[in-house]
A and B are shown apart, each in its own frame.
Chain A
Amino acid sequence: MRNRLHTLMLSAAVLGVAGLSLAACDPAPETDTTGSEIASTRSDRTLTAALSDQGDAAGFRDVLDNSGLSTALEGVGPYTVFAPSDTALGTDADGLKDEAMSAEAAALVRAHIVPGSLGRADINAAIDASGNDQAQMRTMGDDMLTFTRDGETIVVTASDGASARLSGTEVQARNGVIQPIDAVLVKTEAAE
């Protein structure tokens, strides 16, 4: 359950005191370059286990199980998983947990994973440094995600135009990061 996790809420001022040296073993960035607060939850569990702790990602967790990729997200990684909410997945969560749909489930999951650990502070910093207010990361599905900002909210868009907003609280798991999102990053035909 989420309440078992230790929630960190650090202000920019606190980070300022810290000198932003992010000394060697600092586990994570916890602010962004605009000075906004970054809500970050830390878990010593794996991504697969931490997804189970997410209150609004049961559907994505089911899809992950059906995809056969759960063991990968229990491994060394690290990965960053953009986890669509149950509302975002809608009825596709039921469809994609059918055993006959494991290939589609795997394709969906791969489209939501990028290599390494991406905190929101990292994404914001990359957007700020880009010169064109966007930053890109390649997914494990070999697609490109583009990050932009709408106000203080980070927006992520796939190459097919599917777009989502980073929502909720990021989770720093033992082997990566979970970034909750409010939409799915691949389009279905019905959505077009």
Chain B
Amino acid sequence: MKSHITLVSTLALSAALALPALAADQDRGNGNGNGNGNGRAQAARAERVQDGPGNGNRGNPGRGNDNARKDDRGPPAARGNGNGPVPPQVEPRPRDRGNGPDVRDADRRADARARVTVPVGRDDRPEPVVTLFRDGRVERRALIDGCPPGLAKKNNGCLPPGQARQMRREALGRYDGYWLRGDEGYRYRYDDGYMYRYDRNGGLTGWLPALGGALGLGNLWPQQYSYQPAPQYYSQYYGLNDRYSYRYADGVLYGVDPQTQAIQSVAALLTGQPWTVGQAMPQGYDVYNVPYQYRGQYADSPQSWYRYSDGYVYQVDPTTRLVQAVIQLLA
């Protein structure tokens, strides 16, 4: 017997990183532009969501090309340590059989919801289609490896040996524990707007501008710190206005004055966790957390779980924990 379920799904491509960083009018919520050029997902194939794990439902992660950012203002050490763009996503899509909404039209309206009807039945396997949407999601930023601006790399991290010895002797500050990131063997310090990571020998091995510090309200955006323009979807979901340009960095969506480059607001907090259709859901979403107004529509069942993260609801296979679909929450 054949049945159908309807999924509201979309895909996101965090392609925004290819955009120039400085031009304020270019980072106003436009995650489109040139970002698709680096995705290699056209070779990927996706299975329908009802299939079990390991059925090839993995898109080749399109490696956003950091090097393509001509004006990447991040430090050299920022490359290749998690600061890259989110890989293009792969979404199960049926062949357009005329029994559902016009998915081609949905493709053209990349910002709109794509309502997809997925047939359930062995004899009616939909042809998987890879779709790249212009807007995207964001990814958590790792600490920037290497030496912050102004500190050259020494044999022992970025600090001269004398300073490293001094660092080892210093007692931890009362709030140094606030900066722990779960990687043992390192110590973290906050100083004058920046968080620093030290190894066991006191060598400075990483740094990051801190929310509330260098990235505090009223401060100018640090010139050495790269960011991702707010993806279009987030502009819609979070209702971002035109007053500011919006920038994403390390779990925070900032509103920045396009004229002065001063940080004026924190528009949203994000986890930046990677959710990819066909891959395992990130750890740390054990609890059903769908917004109350959507619970009737997306209630957990033995067949599917639903989890909310960063403006999307994700459908997950309870057994395999594989992400089955990405659902936008635009009215």
Q: Which of A's residues lie within 8 Å of B, judged by CB?
A: 22-28, 67-69, 71-72, 75-80, 95, 101-108, 110-111, 113-118, 122-123, 125-126, 130, 135-138, 140-144, 147, 159-160, 172, 186-190, 192
Contact = CB atoms under 8 A, between A and B. Distances in A.
B177 A142 contact: no
Interface stretch (B26-34, B90-98, B146-154, B288-296): B288-296
Nearest to B212: A106
B182 interface: yes
Interface centre among B238, B282, B286, B308 (most CB of A within 10 A): B286
| Closest 10 A/B residue pairs (Cβ) | A24-B296, A116-B289, A138-B284, A106-B212, A103-B213, A135-B286, A116-B308, A103-B212, A107-B178, A102-B212
Nearest to B182: A159
B308 A72 contact: no
Contacts of A27: 292-293
B269 A172 contact: no
Contacts of B288: 122, 125-126
Interface stretch (B101-109, B129-137, B168-176): B168-176
B238 A76 contact: yes
19 contacts: A68-B217, A75-B268, A76-B239, A80-B289, A103-B213, A106-B213, A107-B178, A110-B269, A115-B271, A123-B287, A135-B286, A137-B287, A140-B251, A143-B182, A144-B283, A188-B175, A189-B172, A189-B173, A189-B177
B282 to A, nearest CB: 7
Contact of B292 (A76, A138, A172): A172
Contacts of A126: 286-288
A138 B309 CA distance: 10
Interface in B181-223: 181-182, 190, 193, 195, 210-213, 216-217
Given A117-B291, A142-B181, A136 B173 contact: no
B297 A24 contact: yes
Contacts of B265: 71
Question: For chain B, which range describes its interface: under 10, 10 to 19, 20 to 34, or 35 or more residues?
Answer: 35 or more
Contacts of B267: 71-72, 75
B178 A135 contact: no
Contact of A138 (B171, B283, B291, B297): B283
B310 interface: yes
Contacts of A143: 180, 182
B284 A144 contact: yes
Nearest to A188: B174
B284 A136 contact: yes
A12 B190 CA distance: 48
B140 interface: yes
Interface in B282-331: 282-293, 295-297, 299, 307-311
Contacts of A190: 174
A75 B239 contact: yes
Nearest to B286: A135
A187 B283 contact: no
Contacts of B285: 137-138
B192 to A, nearest CB: 10
B212 A187 contact: no
Contact of B287 (A26, A118, A192): A118
Interface centre among A103, A125, A172, A192 (most CB of B within 10 A): A103
B289 A107 contact: no
A175 to B, nearest CB: 9
Nearest to B282: A138
A116 B309 contact: yes
Nearest to B272: A142
A84 to B, nearest CB: 14
Contacts of B22: none
Contact of A142 (B140, B195, B216, B286): B140
Contacts of A142: 140, 181-182, 251, 271-272
